[in-house]
Amino acid sequence: MKKTLIASLFALGATTMLTAPAYAQDVYFPIIAKGFSHQFWQAVKAGAESAAERNGVKITFEGPNTEAEIDKQTDILNAAIAKKPQGLGFAALDSQAQVPALKKAADAGIPIVAFDSGVESDLPLTTCTTDNLAAAAAAADGLAKAIGEAGEVAAIIHDQTSATGIGRRDGFLNQLQAAYPNVTVVDVQYANDALKAAETAKAMLQAHPNLKGIFASNEGSAIGLAVAMKETGTQIVGVGFDSGKSQKDAIMDGTLLGSITQNPVGIGECVVDSLAKALKGETLPTVIDTGFYWYDKSNMDDPKVAAVLYD
């Protein structure tokens, strides 16, 4: 009884494997992200899936466990290329390290569309991305205006090596330096999860009693910042990045002033749409800016903004 069950399972597996090549007739794009568990990537996935349905193509959405696993992502990339897809979407964890692997795809004539962070090469036909420097500069504007353009501020950045971490840190710092001479940045620290960001924010508040505001550069660090502000009851101004329910709630109840949202759904749509256009032979611009918005209590319900916020 048990054996027949196992045998039939195997048989079922074998038939699925045998029928799989039939899909090769269909248009298939593997989309390789930097991760999949973060809400941001889930939103990108949702966008990619809806665009796939619209274009009548098949996609898969994969990514490594954490955003530090460059080698794992390269393995996923190589496996995807081996399937000989009609196009490839790729968000590089390292803008240079993965160029050789991408070269293989390009040599095999597979069109590549980069997304989220760019690749330092002309292999991708286009890059669907948020301008992180400009987006973080908008966060700096929001924070500086809320503190009367004077006083001490600090930043909690989600990591010190990725293109988004560096871009948001520099975008924030450069804008303050350029436009707000009376605002001083007294501390920049790194924390990669919500709990660590909460402890970091509390240490910052402790070390700098005159602190007027803190910027947190992604969803996790913004959640942590909100936790720290609630626990200490501080009256400083907190500004976040991305969305997610915790962060949206913190903005609604006044703990955080506001945040920057990217357009993850738009990024996902852009990748699949661009690949479909490339197959039809259309030319694409080098970079497609998928946009960002500053949002706070006043415009969270604006349909344009609400559409790109995720829970």
Nearer to other proteins, 110 or 223 (CB): 223
What is the 3 state secondary structure string of 99-133?
HHHHHHHHHCCCCEEEECCCCCCCCCCEEEECCHH
CA distances from 194 to 36, 130, 134, 200 (A): 17, 23, 24, 10
Nearer to other proteins, 147 or 198 (CB): 198
CB of 66 to other proteins, least distance (A): 7
Angle ∠(30,13,6) on CA atoms, nearest 5? 145
User: How many CB atoms within 10 Å of residue 100?
Assistant: 10
CB of 2 to other proteins, least distance (A): 20
Nearer to other proteins, 109 or 209 (CB): 209
Nearer to other proteins, 144 or 194 (CB): 194
In terms of Cα–Cα distance, which of 265, 252, 266 is closest to 300? 252
Binding interface with other proteins (CB under 8 A): 35-39, 42, 65-66, 160, 186-187, 189-191, 193-195, 198-200, 202-204, 206-209, 220, 223-224, 227, 231-232, 244-246, 249, 311
CB of 138 to other proteins, least distance (A): 25
- Per the CB < 8 A criterion, the answer to whether 35 and 66 are in contact is yes
Nearer to other proteins, 28 or 215 (CB): 215
CB of 8 to other proteins, least distance (A): 26
CB of 94 to other proteins, least distance (A): 19
Q: 106: Cβ–Cβ under 8 A, 6 or more apart, which residues?
A: 112, 123
Nearer to other proteins, 59 or 276 (CB): 59
Nearer to other proteins, 198 or 267 (CB): 198
Cα–Cα distance measured from residue 93 to residue 73, given in angstroms and rounded to the nearest whole number: 8
CB of 124 to other proteins, least distance (A): 27
CA within 13 Å, CB half, 296: 14
CB of 39 to other proteins, least distance (A): 6
Nearer to other proteins, 163 or 198 (CB): 198
H helical segments located in 233-297 = 245-252, 264-279
Q: What are phi and psi of 60, to 5 degrees?
A: -125, 150
Q: 111: Cβ–Cβ under 8 A, 6 or more apart, which residues?
A: 86, 87, 88, 125, 275, 278, 279
Based on the number of CB atoms within 10 Å of its own CB, is 232 exposed (0-12), middle (13-18) or buried (19 or more)?
middle
Nearer to other proteins, 121 or 189 (CB): 189
CB of 108 to other proteins, least distance (A): 32
User: How many CB atoms within 10 Å of residue 9?
Assistant: 10
CB of 122 to other proteins, least distance (A): 34
